[in-house]
Structure 1
Amino acid sequence: MSDEQDLAVFVREHVRSVWALELLLVLKRDAERCWDAADLVRELRASTMLVNDNLQRFARAGVAVRDDTGCWRYRPAAPVIADLCEQLEAAYRERPVAIINLISAPRDPLRSLADAFKFRRGEGE
């Protein structure tokens, strides 16, 4: 796959909204800061649920980690993830409309249907 294809796959899998993208960029901008979820809610003027859902998604994607105190940091699990985040930041700065269109494009309809029937597992399962 090309870098653009890799980036598109990453965005479609892990960045489900412009809010999520903004959250990622806030974390990335100050990678050493340990963010409390409430601080991120205030920073982004977003809902608690939106921030928490995206933080969990980023943790599963290997983009962010939560420490023992409950605060969050940008911490890519692998160099390829860090590179994709760099590419995403640059692309959003240079071509914001293209990135927003990529984020808002309909997902694969069969996958969306399958996802609609998935049950959410509880914490710790």
Structure 2
Amino acid sequence: MLPALVCCLLLGCTSDPKVYRVSGKITFAGQPVPAGTIYFTPDNSKNNSGPAGYAQIKNGQYDTSAQGGQGAKAGPLIVKIEGSDGANQLFRTQEVPFELPQKDTSKDFEVPASEGLKLPKNAGPPP
């Protein structure tokens, strides 16, 4: 028991991975994305694992340290971006690779207009 305690004190008892703050802007066709979510998932294909980080997108801004967010693990990640106008999805879910350094980071993302979803003019909420 004592060796385990000494080891724990020397190496640290936590098994939680270190996470970092990621913040920035997200635009779609050059305009701020009104609402949505951004996820930072460790890329298992590049030997990175652990919990995903995430943040809410509000008026084109996101911050994993804001309320409702969670910091991201450093290393190779897959970033998934979901955006809406508050009611309708604006574009196909985007997945892009990103290498997060071992420090708090600012990163902007641009979703090209070609990824937009074309909704019928009379589209409304389902009955």
Normalising by the smaller structure, the TM-score range is under 0.3
Q: Which protein shows a greater Rg?
A: 2
- Whichever structure has more helix as a proportion of its residues is 1
- Whichever structure has more strand as a proportion of its residues is 2
**TM, length-normalised to structure 2:** 0.24
